[in-house]
Amino acid sequence: MATLTKTRDPKIIKSIIKKYDTDGNSKIDVKEFGNLVKDLGYKFTDENVQAFLMLIDTDGSGYIDQEEFITWWSNETFHTDKIIDLITQAAAIFKKFDVDNSKKISRSEFTALAKEVVQLDDSIAQDKLFQQIDQSKDKEIQFAEFCKWLKWF
Q: Is 141 left (phi over 0), alpha (psi -120 to 50) or beta?
A: beta
pLDDT at 113: 96
**Res. 21 pLDDT band, cuts 50 70 90:** very high
- Which residues have C-beta within 8 Å of that of residue 81, sequence separation ≥ 6? none
CATH of domain 97-153: 1.10.238.10
pLDDT per position as a tens digit, 46-93: 999 999 999 899 888 999 998 898 888 776 655 677 888 899 999 999
Domain residue ranges of the chain, discontinuous segments joined by +: 7-78, 97-153
How would DSSP label each residue in 5-74?
-----HHHHHHHHHHH-TT-SSSB-HHHHHHHHHHTT----HHHHHHHHHHH-TT-SSSB-HHHHHHHHH
The two domains 7-78 and 97-153 share their CATH topology (first three levels equal)? yes
Average pLDDT over residues 36-46: 88
pLDDT per position as a tens digit, 104-144: 999 999 999 999 999 999 999 999 999 999 999 999 999 99
Mean pLDDT of the chain: 88
**Res. 6 pLDDT band, cuts 50 70 90:** low
Other CB atoms within 10 A of residue 139 CB = 11
User: What's the topology of domain 7-78?
Assistant: Recoverin; domain 1 (1.10.238)
- Report helix, strand or coil for 142: strand
Percent of the chain with pLDDT over 90: 60
**Res. 5 pLDDT band, cuts 50 70 90:** low
Q: Which residues of 100-119 are buried (b: 16+ CB within 10 A; e: fewer)?
A: eeebbbbeebbbebbeeeee
